[in-house]
């Protein structure tokens, strides 16, 4: 019952007065209290007071939970529009199942906790323990990943400011890609490769294991504000590429949306602000 009530979220507030519009779980609670009033000396009015008290005790934490809960961002393009570089089936599974599982588990892990910004959650994720670390990281990383891609025809180019920063740190776009690809290929097992801005304000490349990211205090790799991340978990490429991770990495550049990455750089990372992805 508790979990069902929790699932009602903020809707419970508007549903309280007209009980027929209340979530089923709340109606069941109201019905059970009202029925018990017929079997004992408690008046109907007293039963209503008890019902209100019960609801009130659940509504307070639920409201903050609803504020702190996250949702699944819609894919900003069609599942098949990254073909032939990333196949439709992989995109469906990756977005609707894997991404959604991180979201669901993050929301569960946040139940009863005060609302917090997703980027703040990243910072403290390792200290917070595996549920927040794995699912909070998984949610952030995938939100960034799906937004930074798009159809190859619209891939475009980095903005002048981003191109200048790439040239300053790596010498050229090709050199940056070379270093990035090596980091992605070398990541043992599951993880991510990242392009981001270091605390010194320079672009650099790093890689993290599992669903960690470089916003997390204490993570492996270089601390930075990521502007571009590549998922090298097998679920991101295995259906099409099987064991050919380097081919997936090379092809993935064709579907990078440079307008989105430039936006991440100019509006956030270049100013020292972690990229807001939801
Ligand atoms: Fe993934």
Check which CATH number belongs to the domain holding 216 and give it.
Answer: 3.55.40.20
CB 23 within 8 A of CB 1: no
Whether a cis peptide bond, with omega within 30° of 0, leads into 84 is yes
User: What spacing in Å lies between the alpha carbon of 230 and ligand 1's midpoint?
Assistant: 9
User: What spacing in Å lies between the alpha carbon of 94 and ligand 1's midpoint?
Assistant: 6
Q: Are residues 89 and 25 in the same domain?
A: no
User: What spacing in Å lies between the alpha carbon of 32 and ligand 1's midpoint?
Assistant: 44
Residue finishing a domain among 39, 68, 97: 68
Range of the domain at 54: 2-68
What is the pTM assigned to this prediction? Answer: 0.76
Three-state secondary structure readout of 195-210: EEECCCCCEEEEEEEC
Q: Are residues 115 and 178 in the same domain?
A: yes
Q: Are residues 43 and 105 in the same domain?
A: no
| Separation of alpha carbons 78 and 76, rounded Å | 7
| Separation of alpha carbons 194 and 226, rounded Å | 6
Q: Are residues 210 and 109 in the same domain?
A: yes
User: What spacing in Å lies between the alpha carbon of 249 and ligand 1's midpoint?
Assistant: 14
CB 126 within 8 A of CB 217: yes
Q: Are residues 113 and 228 in the same domain?
A: yes
Q: What secondary structure letter does DSSP report for 243?
A: T
User: What spacing in Å lies between the alpha carbon of 141 and ligand 1's midpoint?
Assistant: 8
Residue finishing a domain among 49, 68, 87: 68
User: What spacing in Å lies between the alpha carbon of 161 and ligand 1's midpoint?
Assistant: 29
pLDDT the model gives residue 76: 96
pLDDT the model gives residue 221: 92
Quote the percentage of the chain above a pLDDT of 90: 75
User: What spacing in Å lies between the alpha carbon of 197 and ligand 1's midpoint?
Assistant: 22
Count of structural domains, the chain: 2
User: What spacing in Å lies between the alpha carbon of 47 and ligand 1's midpoint?
Assistant: 50
What SS3 state is found at 56?
helix
CB 55 within 8 A of CB 29: yes
Q: Are residues 54 and 103 in the same domain?
A: no
What SS3 state is found at 42?
coil
Whether a cis peptide bond, with omega within 30° of 0, leads into 17 is no
Q: pLDDT tens track of the chain, all 278 residues? A: 333 333 333 322 222 222 333 333 333 333 333 333 333 333 333 333 333 333 333 333 333 333 448 999 999 999 999 999 999 999 999 999 999 999 999 999 999 999 999 999 999 999 999 999 999 999 999 999 999 999 999 999 999 999 999 999 999 999 999 999 999 999 999 999 999 999 999 999 999 999 999 999 999 999 999 999 999 999 999 999 999 999 999 999 999 999 999 999 999 999 999 999 99
pLDDT the model gives residue 69: 84
CB 258 within 8 A of CB 161: no
User: What spacing in Å lies between the alpha carbon of 138 and ligand 1's midpoint?
Assistant: 7
User: What spacing in Å lies between the alpha carbon of 247 and ligand 1's midpoint?
Assistant: 17
User: What spacing in Å lies between the alpha carbon of 192 and ligand 1's midpoint?
Assistant: 9
Q: Are residues 64 and 96 in the same domain?
A: no
CB 167 within 8 A of CB 215: no
For residue 74, is it within any domain?
A: no
Q: Are residues 38 and 100 in the same domain?
A: no
pLDDT the model gives residue 21: 33
Non-local (6+) Cβ contacts of 59 within 8 A are 12, 13, 16
For residue 32, is it within any domain?
A: yes
User: What spacing in Å lies between the alpha carbon of 236 and ligand 1's midpoint?
Assistant: 5
For residue 277, is it within any domain?
A: no
Q: Are residues 221 and 91 in the same domain?
A: yes
User: What spacing in Å lies between the alpha carbon of 56 and ligand 1's midpoint?
Assistant: 39
Residue finishing a domain among 68, 93, 123: 68
For residue 278, is it within any domain?
A: no
Q: Are residues 138 and 211 in the same domain?
A: yes
């Amino acid at each position: 019952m508790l979990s069902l009530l929790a699932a009602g979220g903020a809707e419970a507030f508007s549903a309280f007065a007209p009980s027929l519009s209340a979530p089923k779980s709340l109606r069941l609670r109201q019905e059970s209290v009202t029925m018990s009033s017929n079997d004992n000396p408690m008046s109907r009015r007293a039963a209503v007071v008890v019902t209100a008290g019960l609801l009130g005790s659940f509504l307070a934490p639920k409201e903050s939970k609803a504020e702190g809960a996250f949702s699944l961002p819609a894919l900003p393009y069609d599942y098949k529009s990254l073909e032939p570089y990333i196949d439709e089936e992989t995109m469906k599974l990756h977005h609707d199942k894997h991404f959604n599982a991180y979201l669901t588990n993050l929301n569960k892990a946040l139940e009863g906790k005060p609302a917090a910004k997703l980027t703040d959650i990243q910072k403290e994720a390792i200290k917070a323990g595996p549920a927040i670390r794995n699912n909070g990281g998984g949610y952030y990383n995938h939100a960034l990943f799906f937004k930074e891609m798009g159809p190859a025809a619209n891939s475009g180019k980095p903005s002048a400011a981003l191109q200048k920063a790439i040239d300053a740190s790596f010498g050229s776009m090709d050199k940056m890609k070379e270093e990035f690809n090596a980091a992605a290929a070398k990541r043992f097992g599951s993880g991510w490769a990242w392009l981001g801005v270091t605390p010194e304000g320079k672009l650099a490349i790093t890689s993290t294991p599992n669903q960690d990211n470089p916003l997390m205090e204490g993570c492996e790799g270089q601390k930075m504000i990521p502007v571009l991340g590549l998922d090298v978990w097998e679920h991101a490429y295995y259906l099409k590429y099987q064991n050919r991770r380097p081919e997936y990495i090379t092809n993935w550049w064709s579907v990078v949306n440079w307008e989105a990455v430039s936006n991440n750089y100019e509006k956030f990372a270049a100013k020292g602000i972690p990229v807001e992805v939801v």
